Structure 1
Amino acid sequence: MAGAAAFTLALSACNAAGPQAQSTPTDVSFGPTTSEAAGKIGSFTWMITQEPATFDLDVDSATAENTIMSNVCERLMQLQPDLTTTPHLAEKAEWTSDTTVVFTLRKDVKFHDGSPMTADDVLWSMQRHAAKGADESDEYANVTDMAKTGDNQITVTMKQRDAIFLQAMAGNGGIVLNRKVVEAQGANYGSPSAPDACSGPLKLDKWSAGSSITLTKAADYWDADNAAMADTITFRWADDNAIVNALTSGEAQGAYLDSPATAGPLQKSDKVQIAQGPSTNVWSLIATERGALKDERIRQALSLALNRQGVAQAAFGGLAKPWKAPVGPGSWGYEEPTFSAAYEALAGAPAQPSNEDLDKAKKLVQEAGAPAEPIVVANSGDSIRNVISSALVEAAQKIGLKAEIVTIPRQQYGDFYSDASLRAQADLFSDEYYISKNDPVGFYKNGASTAKVNFVKFASESYDNKVKEAQATTDDAARAKLAIDLEKQWTDAVVWIPVAHTPATIAMSKDISGAPSSASFLYYPWAADVGSSKK
């Protein structure tokens, strides 16, 4: 914790007007993109914090996978650097009735093997994403039928109108795959030896397992106006300290920083530029079904006692903000002042707990009864989770609870979402959760009684009904009101314990520019925009 706490940066004054008002150091720019590239570039090296597990994004799609494959695979809709959504492989998406949306597909798209994208490929891809157990299957929960209704047309029928479905098609649920390539590879698809099955501006050239991944500019990319500016991009992985060394030495030219605190030492380099941008990302302590936190009063007590300001400073060097909700302001894509005011009114998650907060927490513990066994919080050994886990243990001790830390290997940590036996080892695990949509409803569906990440089995008929109503409401003001009600119910029950909002943070050599500084890099082909900062 002492090492992380050394990264102390001055913060500028801010208000809560929305994404453009997030706390950032005075010498760090904030916005959706960095300066437009001035010219093409031969190659550059980009750092990530761990090796991808697979490139089959229906199996796993964490940050490492998305950072790379956002440049290789394309979607029916496309998330933009300002987190808005536009048509992409679908040239048009139109609601033709309250329950029917029609995608009109582009006719000029070609996959990397030269074959044309067809409506059959699109339908097959959507069915694959919707299949039980697929990583994006929840995006299709409201779908009753998908059909090819023309040579370049797909019609999707819903149980009810779904206001966020089109935004979801800008995420991994909207990726269009080359069916024949995926089927030819079988179980090998997504492995280091398999080709990609996509149509983006960059293609997978080589995955040297344990070492590096190389992308090359796609020849004859169908969207010539948005072809990649670089010929070759090499991805390497290392821990935060090694990433700092690679960037300051010039061995690598950029990275989207896993921890904003990493920006601290990089700011001392005259070779590196730092920028931040809007995101939906929030680090939360996610309660499992193990047992100790089934009583919401224990979750409420821990939330009241947690020192979020301390975590924001120690774990993120002041480049994150204590946060009261499970999703960040990058989701406020409409009715922004309304969402901001509702956020400010939330209670139960103080930046720094007061004596009154601690007294309330102790009373809640007395009412609920302290769990017989210590509360177990999972750590992975990295600096952020070290700080968050220690803060949770400290919070528990202040209010008469016992808590301890169990260490789970980092490469296993993502399995908390899918592996019940792993969740049985801990009452809480910390993670940075984000959504591809600029709509809070896209997050709060996770509190529905049937949601697969609602591990504590929070159940409310009112909540479930409001999720359905919000998804079906296309009027922005009315949907915002419903989303705010969902936010209030979620935070009152403390389904997850929110900790800190992290704006997207990018570090780049001053010799290159053009990359988005927002969280769009997870789904937008950011690397295609990177070029030389000089003509």
Structure 2
Amino acid sequence: MHAPRTALAATAVGTLLALTGCSSGDGTSTASTGAVKLTSTTPAASGALDNVTWNLPMGEPITLDPAKVGDYSPSTVASNLCDPLIRLKPDYTLAPGLATVWKRPDPKTLVLDLREDVTFWDGTPMTAKDVVASLSRQGDPATQSVNTQVLASVAGITASGEHQVTIRFRTPDELFLKYLANGFGAVSEASYLKKAGASYGTAKGGLMCTGPFELKSWKSGESITAVRNADYWDTSLRPRAKKLTFTFITDNGTLTSALLSGQIDGSYEIPSTVARALRSSDAGTLYYGPSAQTVFISPTGPSSPLADHRVTQALSLVLDRDALVKNVFDGAAQKLKTSIPSLVWKNGEAADVYAKGYDELPAVPDVDVDKARKLVDQAAPKRRTVTVATAAGDQQSLQTLTFVQAAAKRIGLTIVIKQLQPTQMSGLFYDASLREGLDATMALGYVEIPDPLSYAQMFTSPASPMNWIRYDNKQVTSLLTRSQAVLDPEESASLFTQAQALYSQDLPIVPIAAPYERMFLNKRLSGAPASFAYINMPWAAQLGATGGATS
């Protein structure tokens, strides 16, 4: 929510971005949405860099352990340090990573052939035992992995050769392979994992991975520094930057000044208020990219007034999304019928099936106050005051909730906005005690892998820790379970869209908008992807100077 893993990780739609891709002469992929121009990549860099300073506007990471990474800041850093078995591309499709080939000898077996020329930062060759250790440890409660659900259908993970790993399943699982593109599939050195124990991924314990940058230092409260891996196995992505320094500026005014002055070279997730100040600046370029992010309101428990889908439908009916997108997101967002943006599936094998299913959903509603009032009266909630949590300092979410607050008042609902510190806000998604006294949360979520099923299950499965309201539609659960167990992409997509048509009617969530990715690059830099796919790809390895000389 900041990304419950898919995580939320993490979060449709044939027409969501309304993109018709084209390619410019500089290699930049762009598309027009009517409001802004979307760019998946930026012009290729040509020069070397001594140092790049990059900001993490969501604050300092708590950990960099790939097994525990499930939020913006840690993922932005870890994606450049720890390579996954499969690599995510800017268009949200998959490509070989540390695994060169994958095959299924039968529906319950997946075989991964590994690269044989990969070494960890300390020079130790990567073998199958490192992959087995990295994946298997996430099933151990002591690891506290955010990916334990990925192993639910796994019967065993073994090294079937020095550079081959075999995964056997109790039931077929079409999602597992896709999870190998995020933190779940990142590979760490087995012996280092054992030595570091619980401190792995912390400032004290460090990391041992194979990525294009190596973790050099972590000064708590100040910065994280990584240095170039000159022996990186992917010669096409050997970094041009010698050093990469991450800062943690969360104040919008301070961030704006630092970007305009060149103190900071760039940042993803630029807030809309900062974007307005940067848009006309000659200090660099503000890029808008396709995104898998979604903003929605979700009830935090079965006693919440919003746990009744009639109340959330009423709230949806009085929300002027056009005005909200224009005024809060500065036009850089799209309205959504569901909580899953189309980038998640629009370039996949079954894109047509997903598009048809989305098109058949009811349209995003126009404002209808009378109908909304009738729904609230039918629901007759015991309480008409709703306390909604958002992160302190998150002006975009605060402005969104102010819109919601005014709309709710028209149908007799009182929205109380409760601002939580970032650690509290992030923690409430995993700790039920932090949700006490709350009725709902303003969620900024994203879908980490190219499959909408992963996100839908988190809110609809009776067994999911994210199903806070105990939603239980047996037909939906059956369809989604079958969808995961089918390895044919089109059949799986068909089952998913059938479930989506059902839960879109009774799952109490208020979809608000799908914001585009916003990235700022200082004029001396280029090369980084502008797509939200950066969250799970080695984006910084593509950074370089705009000219041929070292900067």
Q: Distance in 2 between matches of 1:178 and 1:260?
A: 40
* 1:197-346 matches, cutoff 5 A: 197-238=208-249, 239-289=251-301, 291-292=303-304, 293-332=306-345, 333-334=347-348, 335-346=350-361
The answer on whether the counterparts of 2:270 and 2:519 sit within 8 Å (CA) in structure 1 is: no
| CA gap 1:425/1:433 in 2 versus in 1, 3 angstroms | same
Residue 18 of structure 1 deviates from its aligned partner by: 4.7
Task: Name the structure 1 match of 2:174.
Answer: 163
1:314 counterpart letter in structure 2 = N
Q: 1:134-149 alignment to 2 at 5 Å?
A: 134-149=145-160
- 2 CA distance for matches of 1:482 and 1:402? 38
SS state at 2:218 partner:
strand
Aligned equivalents of 1:83 and 1:255: distance in 2?
20
- Correspondence 1:40-189 to 2 at 5 A: 40-49=48-57, 50-132=59-141, 133-189=144-200
Q: What is the CA–CA distance in structure 1 between the aligned matches of 2:374 and 2:528, rounded to whole Å? A: 50
**Of 40, 46, 55, which residue of structure 2 is paired with 1:38?**
46
Give 1:223 deviation, angstroms: 2.6
Given that 2:56 and 2:73 are in contact with CA atoms closer than 8 Å, whether structure 1 keeps it comes out as: yes
TM-score under structure 1 normalisation?
A: 0.91
SS of aligned partner of 1:183: helix
Structure 1 residue 17, shift from structure 2 partner: 6.8
- Tell me, yes or no, if structure 1 residue 426 matches structure 2 residue 438: yes
Distance in 1 between residues matched to 2:18 and 2:483, nearest whole Å: 21
Q: Which is further off, 365-374 or 62-71?
A: 365-374
Does the residue aligned with 1:264 lie in a helix, a strand or coil? helix
Give the C-alpha shift of residue 349 in structure 1. Answer: 4.3
Given that residues 290 and 426 in structure 1 are in contact (C-alpha distance below 8 angstroms), is that contact kept between their aligned partners in structure 2?
A: no
What is the CA deviation profile of residues 483-523 of structure 1, one whole-angstrom value per residue up to 9, with x for unaligned ones?
Answer: 22222223212342211101222110121110011111111
SS where residue 316 of structure 1 aligns?
coil
Summarize the alignment of residues 349-388 of structure 1 with structure 2, pairs less than 5 Å apart. Answer: 349-350=364-365, 353-354=366-367, 357-372=368-383, 374-381=385-392, 382-388=394-400
- Cα 1:260–1:47 change in 2 (3 A) is same
Shift of 1:384: 1.5
SS in structure 1 of the partner of residue 276 of structure 2: helix
Q: Is the 8 A contact 1:358 1:399 kept in 2?
A: yes
CA distance in 2: counterparts of 1:195 and 1:216, whole angstroms: 14
Higher mean alpha-carbon deviation, 179-188 vs 162-171, is at 179-188
Aligned length: 517
C-alpha distance in 1, partners of 2:501/2:166?
A: 35
Inter-partner Cα distance in structure 2 for 1:246 and 1:20: 35
Tell me the secondary structure at the aligned position of residue 429 of structure 1.
Answer: strand
- Under a length normalisation based on structure 2, what TM-score does the superposition of the two structures give? 0.89
The residue that corresponds to 1:409 in the other structure is: 421
1:441 matched to which residue of 2? 453
Does the 8 A contact of 1:511 with 1:532 survive in 2?
yes
Deviates more, 1:400-409 or 1:341-350: 341-350
Q: Give the SS at the match of 2:501.
A: helix
Which secondary structure does the structure 2 equivalent of 1:71 belong to? coil
Distance between the aligned counterparts of 2:354 and 2:302, measured in 1?
A: 33
Residues 407-430 of structure 1, C-alpha deviations (whole Å, 9 max, x = no match): 211232111111101112211111
Contact 2:462 2:472 in 1 (8 A): yes
> Are the equivalent residues in 2 in contact too, given 1:339–1:480 (CA < 8 A)?
yes
For residues 348 and 302 of structure 1, what CA distance do their matches in structure 2 show?
A: 15
Q: Distance in 2 between matches of 1:394 and 1:326?
A: 22
- Contact 2:19-2:33 within 8 A present in 1 as well: no
- Alignment partner of 1:519 is 2:532: yes
The 8 Å contact of residues 515 and 530 in structure 1, kept in 2 or not, is answered as: yes
The residue aligned with 2:496 is 483
Give RMSD over aligned pairs. Answer: 2.1
Gap runs ≥5 in structure 1: 1-13
Question: Quick one: structure 1 residues 130 and 455, their matched pair in 2 at CA, closer, same or farther if it must change by over 3 Å?
Answer: same
Query: Is 2:65–2:207's contact at 8 Å kept on the other side of the alignment?
Result: no
User: Are the equivalent residues in 1 in contact too, given 2:369–2:410 (CA < 8 A)?
Assistant: yes
Alpha-carbon distance in structure 2 between the residues aligned to 1:272 and 1:490 = 44
The whole-number CA distance in structure 1 between the counterparts of 2:271 and 2:34 is 15
CA pair 240-203 structure 1, distance change in 2 beyond 3 A: same
Tell me, in whole angstroms, the C-alpha distance in 1 between the residues paired with 2:413 and 2:399: 19
Q: CA deviation at 1:258?
A: 4.2
Please name the residue that 1:499 is paired with: 512
Report the Cα offset of residue 135 of structure 1. Answer: 0.5
Distance 1:235 1:17, change over 3 A: closer
Distance between the aligned counterparts of 1:131 and 1:490, measured in 2?
Answer: 32
What residue identity is the alignment partner of 2:316? S
Quick one: which of 529, 532, 535 aligns to 2:545? Answer: 532
The answer (yes or no) to whether the contact 2:84–2:183 under 8 Å persists in 1 is yes
Contact 2:525–2:544 at 8 Å: present in 1 too? yes
Question: Secondary structure of 2:245's match?
Answer: strand
Q: Aligned to 1:505, what secondary structure does the other structure show?
A: strand
Change (3 A) 1:74 1:62: same
Question: Kindly tell me: are residues 306 and 494 of structure 1, through their superposed partners in 2, closer, same or farther at Cα, counting changes over 3 Å?
Answer: farther
Pairwise CA distance, 1:107: 1.8
Gapped runs of 5+ residues in structure 2?
1-13, 22-30
Q: Matches of 1:200 and 1:247 in 2, distance apart?
A: 27
Decide whether the 8 Å contact of 1:23 with 1:321 is kept in 2: no
- 1:370 Cα deviation after fit: 2.4
Distance 1:47 1:496, change over 3 A: same
* Residue deviations 1:298-325 (CA, integer Å, cap 9, x gap): 2222222223233322322111122221
1:3 match: none
Q: After TM superposition, give the deviation of residue 373 of structure 1 in Å.
A: 5.6
From the superposition, tell whether residues 339 and 240 of structure 1 become closer, same or farther in structure 2 (CA, over 3 Å). Answer: farther
The 3-state SS of whatever aligns with 1:157 is strand
Return the letter of the residue paired with 1:490. Y
Partner of 1:6: none
1:110 Cα deviation from its structure 2 partner: 0.9
